[in-house]
Amino acid sequence: MKRVAITGLGAITPLGNSVQEFWENIVAGKSGAGPLTKFDASKFKTRFGCEVKNFDPTEYIDKKEVKKYDLFSQYAIAASDQAIKDAGLDFTAMPEEQRYDVGVIWASGNGGIGTFEEQLKEFYAGDGTPRFNPYFIPKMIVDIAAGAISIRHKLHGPNYCTVSACASSNTAIISAFDTIRLGKATIMVAGGSEAAITPGSVGGFGASQALSKNNENALHASRPFDKLRDGFVVGEGAGALILEEWDHAIARGANIYAEMVGGGMAADAYHLTGTHPEGLGAALGMTKALSDAGISAKDVDYINAHATSTHIGDISELIGIKRVFGDSGVLISATKSMTGHLLGAAGAIESLICILALKNGIVPATINIEELDPELPEGLNVVINNAVARDLQYVLNNTFGFGGHVASSIFKKY
């Protein structure tokens, strides 16, 4: 099968709206949390999150066109534009037949949930006469960001959306990786976006007891592995990767960040929202990714854990890691302690972190840890509170989603 290079990155995040700013804040161990501003959350049990700040869609989209896109698509367009530019590509300047082999796989867990809520609120507040925005459906549907990116850049290759809850964008990246490996495309734009800081989303996750209620200490509320963690902190944003067939990237002199070498997908097949207590699906996904990459557990230097800061989820993942990696000494960190949980976009933004960790030789920390949970399995090497310098050869990114979805990806140093 063909080799796959990562040649471009893009990021819209709670910690910055460029890859450089985002990475600098990740290494510095900053928190993106703060009071919710996108709606009045005064009556909610959770009143904070990790919002994107200072995002101006007109930097990427014509002012007259912005209204056609839900915020999740605006984030997608911005991040993918950044990644395409970063890769040194101008697709519209390519002959059309070359663009037949360039595709988009873009993920979201919730799609245009903001548009959905706004439109129904207006309907039920009215007299019952249907006066829906003509863009309601194309703004709302989850696949529309993939379509918008392809239309914008005239890309005629494989084009679709992956939805596997919080594993969605890692699944998209693995799918793009496989598409290139099998010779079905030369270049793929892949990633995910989420704009689910809405009353329905925050209220729904809150009702399921998934969100932290630590309103008085928002900056430190996202604390995976900590004894006092009380749930995840909702985030938003987008991450984009350009995946490219290796020889094509070399031939055009592309800047190569890393090589993608493996992907594993599995299922807990256990519970609608809870992870398997023994980390069954997690272990299976990681094992499949290692097999796909043709490496052993001892070759992996760093794992970006899915760890969201929920009690059972964090423990079960580390149990799964212990099952696969034993006492190998692999470094583990949970960067959701800084970004919050970007839901369907989490896998993409954490893939960026893995790739930049490889390139820069820095392992980001899990911040906000005061005391490790004594229920966590012993003998694991969790990076706590401060980033560490380390020469890395292989890194692994874990993502899990409601429904038991598991996706693990592996990147190799270039």
One digit per residue, the tens of pLDDT, for the chain of length 414 reads 999 999 999 999 999 999 999 999 999 999 999 999 999 999 999 999 999 999 999 999 999 999 999 999 999 999 999 999 999 999 999 999 999 999 999 999 999 999 999 999 999 999 889 999 999 999 999 999 999 999 999 999 999 999 999 999 999 999 999 999 999 999 999 999 999 999 999 999 999 999 999 999 999 999 999 999 999 999 999 999 999 999 999 999 999 999 999 999 999 999 999 999 999 999 999 999 999 999 999 999 999 999 999 999 999 999 999 999 999 999 999 999 999 999 999 999 999 999 999 999 999 999 999 999 999 999 999 999 999 999 999 999 999 999 999 999 999 999
In order of 72, 96, 195, the CA distances from 154 in angstroms are 20, 8, 25
166 as an active site residue: the answer is yes
Q: Residue 353: helix, strand or coil by DSSP?
A: helix
The neighbour count for residue 44, using CB atoms within 10 Å, is: 17
Sorted by where each starts, the structural domains of the chain and their CATH numbers stand as 4-251 (3.40.47.10), 263-413 (3.40.47.10)
Q: What is the pLDDT of residue 128?
A: 87
Q: What is the pLDDT of residue 153?
A: 98
**Using CA atoms, how far apart are residues 6 and 254, in angstroms rounded to an integer?**
10
The neighbour count for residue 272, using CB atoms within 10 Å, is: 8
Q: Provide DSSP, 60-105.
A: TS-TTTGGGS-HHHHHHHHHHHHHHHHTT--GGGS-GGGGGGEEEE
89, 353, 414, 241: CA torsion to nearest 10: -30
Do the beta carbons of residue 338 and residue 367 sit within 8 Å? yes
Bridge partner list, 19 = none
First to last CA, the chain: 18
Q: Please identify which of the residues 50, 161, 166, 354 carries the catalytic annotation.
A: 166
Tokens of 182: 């099998």
Bridge partner list, 191 = 106, 240
Angle between helices 71-86 and 144-153 (to 10 degrees): 40
Distance of CA 391 to the CA centre of its chain: 24
Q: What is the pLDDT of residue 173?
A: 99
Residue 275's contacts (CB-CB under 8 Å, 6 or more residues apart) are 268, 281, 282, 312, 313, 316, 317, 400, 404
Q: What is the pLDDT of residue 168?
A: 98
**Using CA atoms, how far apart are residues 240 and 351, in angstroms rounded to an integer?**
9
> Which sign does the torsion angle of CA 39, 43, 49, 54 carry?
positive
In order of 143, 164, 379, the CA distances from 314 in angstroms are 30, 19, 15
The pTM of the full predicted model, rounded to 2 decimals, is 0.97
Tokens of 107: 């993920």
Which amino acid would we find at residue 237? G
Do the beta carbons of residue 29 and residue 386 sit within 8 Å? yes
Closest CA to 88 of 251, 259, 239, 237: 251
**Using CA atoms, how far apart are residues 306 and 270, in angstroms rounded to an integer?**
18
